[in-house]
Amino acid sequence: MHIEHRNNVKVLGRGPATLVFAHGFGCDQSMWRFLVPSFEERYRIVLFDSVGSGASDPAAYDRAKYDTLHGYADDLIEIVDGFGQGPVVFVGHSVAAMVGVLASIKAPALFAAQVMVSPSPSYIDDGDYIGGFTRDDIEELLQTLHDNYLGWSSNMAPAIMGAPDQPALGQELTNSFCRNDPEIAAHFARVTFLSDHRADLPRSATPALILQCTDDMVAPVAVGEYMQRTMPSSVLALIDNIGHCPHMSAPSASTDAIQSFLARTLT
């Protein structure tokens, strides 16, 4: 199957370096529209939809392959290898950030840097580690999602988006969630929220920017601080913002942080 069709790959912009953007759970590549214009004059931009999301090929969804994040990491490696034109800067939101970590471990030569927007290696509290949820919280969330996906989406998407002064963004995320196949979304949610990739963080030597909001119900600041301590070549930047999607609700601050990181890292 051709990668371009499988993942609805789009290439735009111009420049010597390539930025590859990957969306998070329940989203698609359109979520990057607030950031891309600030970069496409100086960089090639590669956008895509993860299999099971957006306009990706539904026939490509293989439950066994995508039963862990490694299946998505293998797809990412193929996309970067096919469209990257050299080592790329990978920009991943939420769970996609961890997909990028796994891909950078498997194929380090393909990645010059990574920007991790609201990432989390594990969502469940464990001893001194603060993930933001208890195991019971996650199991209840997954059961509700399985039993009533549309109702769950309507309730959770605005809370995940945050941005109380921009209600249209919460509605957009709700609509995006609701466009996804409920069965695939429930499976991806289980893979995402039960994953634990803390042990993989020190294995990634790719320079990384960890970009987090000061008030994020999904990935609290303690998660970013843990990642910064654990990843050998990482920096943490906090955005004074409410929610899990600063690339949408705080695009100017997100752009500034990313541009500053790239100026230091790619020179």
| pLDDT per residue as tens digits for the range 103-149 | 999 999 999 999 999 999 999 999 999 999 999 999 999 999 999 99
95-106 helix and 69-83 helix, angle to the nearest 10 degrees: 70
224: part of which helix (H) or strand (E)?
helix 221-230
For residue 267, pLDDT over 80 is answered with: no
For residue 30, pLDDT over 90 is answered with: yes
Residue 146 appears among annotated catalytic residues: no
Average pLDDT taken over every residue of the chain: 96
| Segment 136-176, tens digit of pLDDT | 999 999 999 999 999 999 988 999 999 999 999 999 999 99
- Enter the pTM of the model: 0.97
Residue 65: is it exposed, middle or buried by C-beta count within 10 angstroms (0-12/13-18/19+)? middle
Contact predicate 81/11, CB 8 Å: no
Quickly state the pLDDT bin for 1 (edges 50, 70, 90). low
Residue 244 appears among annotated catalytic residues: yes
> What are the chain's domains?
3-121+197-265 (3.40.50.1820)
Catalytic residue among 93, 197, 244, 247: 244
Percent of residues, the chain, with pLDDT higher than 90: 95
For residue 178, pLDDT over 90 is answered with: no
Catalytic residue among 94, 120, 176, 204: 94
SS3 133: strand
Q: How far apart are CA 80 and CA 125, in angstroms?
A: 33
| Segment 201-223, tens digit of pLDDT | 999 999 999 999 999 999 999 99
Residue 137 appears among annotated catalytic residues: no
